Chain A
Amino acid sequence: MKSAMVRLTALVTVGVLASSCGIMSPGDGDTTGSGDDGGGSTTMRVACFGNDQRIQRVEAAVTAFEQANDGVDVQLECTGFAGYFDKLATQFAAGDAPDVIMLNSQFLGEYAERGALAELGDSVDTSRFSEVAAAEGTTADGRYGVAAGLNTMTILANTALFEAAGVELPDDTTWTWDEYATLAATITEKSGGEQYGSDAPNFGPALEHWLRQQGKEMFTDDGELGFAPSDVADFLTYLQGMGQSGGLPPASLITEQHEALEQSGVATNKDAMGWFWSSAVGAITKASGADIVILRPPSTSGSSADAGLFFKPDSLWSVNADSENAEEATAFIDFMVNSTEAGQAVLTSLGVPANSDVRDAIAAEVSGSDKAALDYVAEISDELGPQRPASPSGAGTLDNTFFRHAMEVLYERASPDAAAEGFVAEMTTALEK
């Protein structure tokens, strides 16, 4: 009886042991193995996010890098966007995060301020970047990331809906917020309420344009909020007005369209205009099947030179502060952003290249809506507003928090003043953490 018991226990133990002997381990079990493995070759881990097409493009660039750098073996650890940052934070907590990591600008400040990232100094060449693009990834303490590619906020207009409503496309170099609102309301009216003139403005970025046109910024250089509740209340009052005049769909529709790009009103041919990052042009065009044109966001003054346009990196490359391969890591980043080989591999899948040489080199190789986005970014390069201060830690939640409070206004559950107060109070607490 006792021996049977022992056998049973042993059976389980054997099962456990058998599994731990690597019978069941897929792929390479060596994850802590950054560093030399004796033969002078270095294994470097690189994490990135995006859909699989984009990852396969990055992979092609990595292959080119490995060929150009003998003895460096790059191990790509890429996933979809969902959960990417959860995984990254967990890896940092355990001290086994990859050497090179892809971040977005919301999280860069978070990671930099908390000492997770290596200061890059001048190790990555940004001389062929525009000044504004080069400044992305830097904080008051130095450089912690390099833009992998650039996006900018655009208004995508569905020309089919403009035609159907018998409305001319606006002149996007001169239009104002008021004209935008009027145009939106007109389209809704002319369609007999079948369509709407405008998607809800992509909340956080639209607010940022609005603020910059008032000579303000999202954040100050000291990492505090760069605006007062009344500034936000003005913008929310504007949105509320658009909702009331019929220019925007009802709040519940906005909520439903908020998730995937292809679900948005412009993509489903329900809304004539919407706010999107330039990287979305392809997806929207493909989903709607209509002719989609890129417009500049409106301004307060009536001149797009004052519209406060800015670049936002699609993503940034950074180096883990604990990396034992910092040299190889910076060489990798340099290769990714400055070499034409890498540029030709990734094209615009990481946004428009910041290096103007690379941008020119790939111009002939992209077509359709990718080309349109590339041209647009080149076109507005001279019209940009002042450099944006870096996002401090705690800024990562701004877009979601603002969306929530703005929707309270559109659902008519809060006044613009109350929502603005609530938003500012919540962000202030977040930044203090």
Chain B
Amino acid sequence: MSVSTELRRLRAGRATTRPTSDRSAYGFLSPWLIGLVVITAGPIVASLVLSFTDYNLLQDPSWIGLDNFRRMLSDDRLRQSLWVTFVYVVLGVPLQLGLALAIAVLLNRGMRGLALYRSVLYLPSLLGGSVAVAILWRQIFGTEGLINQVLGFVGIEGIGWISDPRTALYSIIALHVWTFGAPMVIFLAGLRQIPASYYEAAVVDGAGRWQVFRHITLPLITPIIFFNLVLQIISAFQAFTQAFIVSGGTGGPSDSTLFFTLYLYEKGFGELDMGYAAALAWLLLLIIGVFTAINFYAARFWVFYDD
């Protein structure tokens, strides 16, 4: 393939020596290192310790060993929250990223009104989680909301999408996909970083549009796809705000939107069972850690770095 040869040629001059250990690196890292030691590490370790205690925030924690973790085994609502969260991650992340990438690629091509489209598409992601926004989403997905009004035009009688236990979770996933603006912006920034010379070279070689996308655009933004994938999975596992505002903090109806962190929050602050909440947090960390590790391992086979 001529395009790949071209890419290889462009990359060829790069196999020069790299400097070995570089002490100035710690200078660049110093803000982060200070932050790690002073602000981040303490609370992380503390939460690990608390996960082995019975801690209600009002009294001193008391050591109970593995009891919190044992309790998880017979916790039905925990199982429900894990299921809800997995469904959300497995459906929400790929759908949102796929849409974000497709639109970003579409928007990256010079066209009229580009800036306008970009801004408008980002709108739903700006809204955040205020009370007004909570009511907004509930009205849209409610029995008399936008969705059902649109369905009504074509003669379908809708249901209360967020108030029916069978559809509530999927409504939140739809809402998540709707706010694809954030990964879209990151993809756009990534696409902007591809040097024009790569495209020019490909054009000289007579590559078609799909070939250009497949052999230049796609490989060059794999680091950005990878970034979005890793971070979106992490944040999807921690999804809180949307479920909280849509269900009024209950995870209802019928626990159908009981996201993991919602349950954790309810335990920690609602029931003042912070020891158990800390244990739940470390279970989550373990799960996210495994997913992230797999991601990093798999990245060797598909992520292309230009350095």
- Beta-carbon contact of A253 and B160 below 8 Å: yes
Question: Given A12-B31, A85-B269, A86-B269, do A253 and B143 touch, yes or no (CB 8 Å)?
Answer: yes
Which residues of chain A have C-beta atoms less than 8 A from B269's C-beta?
A: 85-86, 89
Secondary structure of the A contact surface, majority rule: helix
The reply to whether the CB of A41 lies closer than 8 angstroms to some CB of chain B is no
Select the stretch in A119-127, A198-206, A342-350, A396-404 that faces chain B. A396-404
Select the stretch in B4-12, B52-60, B223-231 that faces chain A. B52-60
- Beta-carbon contact of B160 and A1 below 8 Å: no
- Beta-carbon contact of A92 and B58 below 8 Å: yes
Nearest Cβ on chain B to A76's Cβ, whole angstroms: 22
The reply to whether the CB of A366 lies closer than 8 angstroms to some CB of chain B is no
- Beta-carbon contact of B252 and A407 below 8 Å: yes
Q: Closest chain A residue to B56 by CB distance?
A: A114
Complex Cα gap A5–B252 (Å): 54
Which residues of chain B have C-beta atoms less than 8 A from A255's C-beta?
A: 160, 162-163, 252-253
Which residues of chain B have C-beta atoms less than 8 A from A115's C-beta?
A: 58-59
Which residues of chain B have C-beta atoms less than 8 A from A253's C-beta?
A: 143, 160, 163
Which residues of chain B have C-beta atoms less than 8 A from A252's C-beta?
A: 143, 159-160, 163-164, 253
- Beta-carbon contact of A12 and B58 below 8 Å: no
Complex Cα gap A411–B256 (Å): 12
The reply to whether the CB of B13 lies closer than 8 angstroms to some CB of chain A is no
Which residues of chain B have C-beta atoms less than 8 A from A396's C-beta?
A: 270-272
Nearest Cβ on chain A to B245's Cβ, whole angstroms: 10
Which residues of chain B have C-beta atoms less than 8 A from A263's C-beta?
A: 135
Question: Given A8-B27, A252-B143, do A404 and B250 touch, yes or no (CB 8 Å)?
Answer: yes
- Beta-carbon contact of A93 and B160 below 8 Å: no
Complex Cα gap A12–B28 (Å): 11
The reply to whether the CB of A413 lies closer than 8 angstroms to some CB of chain B is yes
Which residues of chain B have C-beta atoms less than 8 A from A111's C-beta?
A: 58
Complex Cα gap A129–B126 (Å): 51
Complex Cα gap A378–B89 (Å): 54
Which residues of chain A have C-beta atoms less than 8 A from B274's C-beta?
A: 93
- Beta-carbon contact of A404 and B58 below 8 Å: no
Complex Cα gap A255–B143 (Å): 11
Which residues of chain B have C-beta atoms less than 8 A from A9's C-beta?
A: 27, 30
Partner of B254 from the list A1, A5, A92, A408 (CB cut-off 8 Å) is A408
Write the B31-56 contact mask toward A (1 if CB under 8 angstroms, else 0): 10000000000000000000000001
Write the B122-164 contact mask toward A (1 if CB under 8 angstroms, else 0): 0000000001001100100011000000000000000110111
- Beta-carbon contact of B254 and A433 below 8 Å: no
Which residues of chain A have C-beta atoms less than 8 A from B30's C-beta?
A: 9, 12
- Beta-carbon contact of A256 and B142 below 8 Å: yes
Interface of chain A residues 90 through 113 with chain B (CB within 8 A): 90, 92-93, 110-111
Complex Cα gap A391–B270 (Å): 15
Q: Closest chain A residue to B160 by CB distance?
A: A252
Question: Given A252-B160, A260-B135, do A114 and B248 touch, yes or no (CB 8 Å)?
Answer: no
- Beta-carbon contact of A404 and B252 below 8 Å: yes
Q: A residues within 8 Å of B by Cβ?
A: 1-2, 5-6, 8-9, 12, 82, 85-86, 89-90, 92-93, 110-111, 114-116, 251-256, 258-260, 263, 394, 396-397, 400, 403-404, 407-408, 411, 413, 430, 433
Q: B residues within 8 Å of A by Cβ?
A: 24, 27-28, 30-31, 56-59, 131, 134-135, 138, 142-143, 159-160, 162-165, 248, 250, 252-255, 269-274
Contacts A254-B163, A411-B253 supplied; 9 other A-B pairs, CB < 8 Å: A5-B28, A89-B58, A115-B58, A252-B164, A255-B162, A256-B160, A256-B162, A259-B134, A407-B252
- 9 A-B contact pairs sorted by A residue (CB < 8 Å): A6-B27, A114-B56, A255-B160, A256-B142, A256-B143, A259-B134, A407-B252, A411-B253, A433-B273
